Amino acid sequence: MLAVQHIRKKDLVQVMTGREKGKTGKVLRVLTKKGAVVIEKLNMVKRHTKPAQNQPGGIIEKEAPLRASNILLYCEKCARGVRTGKKILEGGKKVRVCKRCHTQLDK
């Protein structure tokens, strides 16, 4: 059981390994117990569904989870996936910062 601490919903991330290497996308869901994230329009798989009372059957395409260890938060200034650190602001708020250029990644 892995805890996904560096990635949150609606973050812009870059995939570092695997079939989708180098692609970026927005995080739709974070699966903390599995240590995985679902990224918009990445790692698409086809699912065959039986017809149900409220929906027709057929082949649907949907996003499959990726391991959180294989993705990094995307820094706009560096234009790539970067490792992150934490910084405490004057008001006591904790924010994520880029380890390369030290810019704040949280809005």
What whole-number distance in Å separates Cα of residue 27 and Cα of residue 24?
Answer: 10
Domain 12-48+59-82 has what CATH class? mainly beta
> CA-CA distances (angstroms) from residue 29 to 4, 65, 73, 98?
11, 9, 15, 22
- In this model, does residue 5 exceed pLDDT 90? no
pLDDT tens for each residue of 34-91: 999 999 999 999 999 999 999 899 999 999 999 999 999 999 999 999 999 999 999 9
The whole-model pTM stands at: 0.88
What whole-number distance in Å separates Cα of residue 8 and Cα of residue 47?
Answer: 26
